[in-house]
Amino acid sequence: MVEEGIINKEEAILRVEPNQLNQLLHRRIDPQAKVEVIAKGLPASPGAAYGKVVFTADEAEELGKKGESVILVRTETTPDDIHGMVEAQGVLTSRGGMTSHAAVVARGMGKACVAGCSVLNINIKKENISVNDLVIKKDEFITIDGGTGEVFLGKVPTIEPKMSKEFETLLSWANEIKRLGVYANADTPEDAKKARELGAEGIGLTRTEHMFMEQDRLPIVQKMIMADNKESRDEALEKLLPVQKGDFLGILEAMEGLPVIIRLLDPPLHEFLPNLEDTLIEVNTLKLKNADPDELAKKEKLLEIIQSLHEMNPMLGLRGCRLGLLYPEIYEMQIEAIIEAAIELTKKGIKVKPEIMIPLVSHVNEFKPICKKARKIANEKIKSAGVKLEYKVGTMIELPRAALTADKIAEDAEFFSFGTNDLTQTTFGISRDDAEGKFLLKYVDDKILEENPFEVLDREGVGKLVKLGTELGRETNPNLEVGICGEHGGEPQSVEFCHSVGLNYVSCSPFRVPIARLAAAQAVLKEKK
C-alpha cells in the first residue's frame, strides 16, 4: 500500500502489531488444524514444535542428532540441560516462569518453549506425563505452541516461517524512525551473528556463566570452586582464562564495530556443582555399599562443599558482585580475558568495543572497587600492548537500592543496564522462579494485576525505579548510557515505556530484535500523535 501511495510509511509501521512478526520468524500451528488442548502453561518462547517426548537432555541430544524430532520435557531445566535443548525441537517444563532458565535459553535459541505447565505431572522414573486422566509415555508425540502456552497430543500440522522482502522493508523503515537502540542478549558467536542478521546494533548482555557451564569447562570451574587455597584456585583460573578469551574473541569479532556488553559472573557458585540432594543420596549409597574409601572421601568432600555453599535464598545470596568481592580472582580472570581478546582483535585491525558490566550492585561501595580494578587491569594491558582501544565499565541496576542511589553509582559508571528480571523480583518481593506457578497468574486472572510483571514491565512500580534511576544517574553523569537487558527488552509495551523514559537502548533475545525494532518505531509515532 505504501508503494501504491495509499498509506505512508508511518501508517504502515503502526498497522503491524509487533508480536505478529513472530509468525514470520517461527513455525506456527496451522490454523486449519483440528486441535485438542491437553494442558496450558506459560507462553515462554514463541513457535510451534512437535516431537517425541523425552525426559533427559542426553536422550534429547542422542535422538536429535539422529534427526528425530523431540520435545524435551523437564520439571525445570538447568544449565546441565543445554546440550539437550540444542537438539530438541521444543522444551516443556512444569515449573518456572517467564524468566526461568528454560524460557530464557529457549528464547535465545529461537526455540519453542512452554514453561511452568503446572497441570503436568511428570514422572521421570515411570517415564510418563499425566494430565488429569491422560497418560503420555516416553516416545509418544506431543506438540507445543510456545506463543500461546498450549500443549497438544500427537503431531499437529505446522506452517514453516517465511521471511519476505516486505519484512526487511518494513523493518528498514522502523530503523529510519526509531530513536532507541536495539541490542541483543547473546552468549555465543553464533547467537551474536544471528542477532546481527536480525538487526541488533550491539550486544546488551553476554551472560558469562553460560560459558562456564559448557561440558568441557565445567570440571575446571568445579575445581576452581572446590579449591581450598588460593594457589589451586589460581591454577584452575589460569586454565579458564584462555577458554574465556576464546569465547570473547568470537563474540567481539562477530560484532565488529558495535558495542558488546559482557557481564562478569553472576549466579551463586553452587549452580556449578551437582545437586545437594543427589549428592547426599550418592554418599549414603556409597556408605551402604562399603565402597572404596577414597571414592567415598571424595564424594563426602564434594558434599561438604555443596552444603557450605547452600543458602536458603540463593537469589538474594552470594552472587553477582558479592562473588567478585569475596573471590576477586574470578573477576580478575574475566576482565583479563575480555581485554586480552579485545587487544588481539584490535591488533588485527578489527574494531571492537568491549564493555564490562558488574552485576547485582546494591551499594556504590560494591561497585567502586571492582570498577577501579577493571580499569587498572585494562589500562595496564592496553598500555603494554601499545594499542588504541576504548572500553567502558558499567553496572546492572537490578536491585531497588541501586536505582534509588543511582546518582552515587553513576559517578563512576559509564553505563547502566536495568536488569528488569531481578528488579521485578526484588521490587515486588516475588520469586522469579516460583511466583508464576503459585499465585501470580491467578493474580492476573483475578485482575489483581493487569499483566504478569515478569512479562510486561510494571510501569507503576518497577518502571518508576527505572525512570528515577535513569534521572538520578544522569544528574551526576550526563553522558551515562542507559538501557535494559531483562526479558522486558523485547516486549512491545515495555519497549514503548523504555522509549518514553529516555533510555538509550533495549536489549533482548536475538529473535525478538525485529519485534523491538518495530515497537521502538511505533513508540516514536505514538508519541508524535
Q: Which residues are catalytic?
A: 101, 485
Choice from 421, 427, 509, 522 touching ligand PEP (CB under 6 A): 421
List CB contacts of 136: < 8 A, sequence separation 6 or more: 53, 128, 129, 130, 142, 153
**Residue 148 CA: distances (Å) to CA of 40, 152, 226:** 8, 12, 43
Residues within window 195-224 making contact with ligand PEP, judged by CB under 6 A: 205, 207
Query: Which positions from 161 through 180 interact with ligand PEP, judged by CB under 6 A?
Result: none
Query: What are the distances in angstroms from CA 450 to CA 95, 307, 409, 440?
Result: 22, 40, 33, 11
Residue 275 C-alpha cell reads as 545437586
Binding mask 411-440 for Mg ion (x = CB under 5 A): --------x--x------------------
How many chain residues interact with ligand PEP (CB under 6 A)?
Answer: 11
Residue 479: burial class (beta carbons within 10 Å; 0-12, 13-18, 19+): exposed
Stretch that binds ligand PEP, among 87-95, 125-133, 365-373, 420-428 (CB under 6 A): 420-428
Residue 76's contacts (CB-CB under 8 Å, 6 or more residues apart) are 93, 94, 95, 96, 100, 101, 102, 115
CB 272 within 8 A of CB 212: yes
- Encoded one letter per residue, x for contact with Mg ion by CB under 5 A and - for no contact, window 342-381 reads ----------------------------------------
Which among 358, 302, 354 has a CA at the least distance from the CA of 328? 358
Of 156, 399, 485, 503, which one interacts with ligand PEP (CB under 6 A)? 485
Rule CB under 6 A: which of 245-284 touch ligand PEP?
266
Nearer CB in complex with ligand PEP: 279/417? 417
Binding ligand PEP (rule: CB under 6 A), the pick from 420, 426, 452, 470 is 420
Number of Cβ within 10 Å of residue 448's Cβ equals: 10
In what side-by-side order are the strands of the sheet with 48-54? 37-40, 150-153, 141-145, 48-54, 70-74, 90-93, 112-115, 42-45
Angle at 318 between CA 312 and CA 321, to 5 degrees: 155
The listed partner (ligand PEP, Mg ion, none) that binds 353, CB under 5 to 8 Å by sort, is none
Report in angstroms how near the CB of residue 93 gets to ligand PEP at its nearest: 16
Element (H, E) at 175: helix 165-177
Task: Look at residue 481 and give the partner it binds from Mg ion, ligand PEP, none, a contact being a CB closer than 5 to 8 Å depending on partner kind.
Answer: none
Q: Is 129 helix (H, G, I), strand (E, B) or coil?
A: strand
Looking at the Cβ atoms of 100 and 405, the one nearer to ligand PEP is 100
**Options 268, 473, 486, 510; binder of ligand PEP; rule CB under 6 A:** 486
Report what 206 binds from ligand PEP, Mg ion, none; CB cut-off 5-8 Å by kind: none
Give the strand pairing for 70-74 and 28-29: unpaired
Cβ-based neighbour number of residue 397 at 10 Å: 32
Q: Whose Cβ is closer to ligand PEP: residue 395's or residue 420's?
A: 420
Q: Which of residues 393-412 bind Mg ion (CB under 5 A)?
A: 398
Minimum CB separation of residue 319 from ligand PEP in Å reads 9
Q: State which amino acid sits at residue 159.
A: I
Q: Which residues, listed in sequence order, are joined to residue 393 by a DSSP beta bridge?
A: 356
Binders of ligand PEP in range 449-468 (CB under 6 A): none
Pairing of strands 70-74, 48-54: parallel
Check binding of 419 to ligand PEP (CB under 6 A).
Answer: yes
485 binds, among ligand PEP, Mg ion, none (CB under 5 to 8 A by kind): ligand PEP
Question: Does 400 sit near ligand PEP (CB under 6 A)?
Answer: no
Per CB under 6 A, 422 contacts ligand PEP? yes
CB of 463 to ligand PEP, least distance (A): 14
User: Residue 156 in contact with residue 494, Cβ under 8 Å?
Assistant: no
| Sign of the alpha-carbon torsion through 87, 90, 96, 100 | positive
- 126 C-beta neighbours (distance < 10 Å), count: 12
> Looking at beta carbons only, is 84 or 419 nearer to ligand PEP?
419
Helix (H, G, I), strand (E, B) or coil at 462: helix
Binding track over 235-274 against Mg ion, x by CB under 5 A: ----------------------------------------
Q: For residues 115 and 85, what is the distance between their CA atoms, to the nearest angstrom? A: 13
Task: Check the CA dihedral 520-523-528-529 and report its sign.
Answer: positive
Phi and psi of 81, rounded to 5°? -95, -5
Residue 403 sits in the site that holds ligand PEP (CB under 6 A): no
Minimal distance, residue 113 CB to Mg ion, in Å: 19
Which does residue 410 touch among Mg ion, ligand PEP, none (CB within 5 to 8 A, set by kind)? none
Does 398 help bind ligand PEP (rule: CB under 6 A)? yes
Shortest distance, position 274 Cβ to ligand PEP, whole Å: 22
Map the footprint of ligand PEP across residues 76-105, applying CB under 6 A.
99
Binding partner of 80, given Mg ion, ligand PEP, none, CB within 5-8 angstroms per partner class = none
Report the DSSP beta bridge partners of residue 185. Answer: 205
Piece of the chain touching ligand PEP by CB under 6 A; list 83-91, 299-307, 333-341, 419-427:
419-427
* 156 neighbors 33 (Cβ within 8 angstroms): yes
Which span (229-237, 279-287, 292-300, 414-422) binds ligand PEP, by CB under 6 A? 414-422
260 binds, among Mg ion, ligand PEP, none (CB under 5 to 8 A by kind): none
Give me the residues that bind ligand PEP (CB under 6 A), please. 99, 205, 207, 266, 398, 419-422, 485-486
Interaction site with Mg ion (CB under 5 A): 398, 419, 422
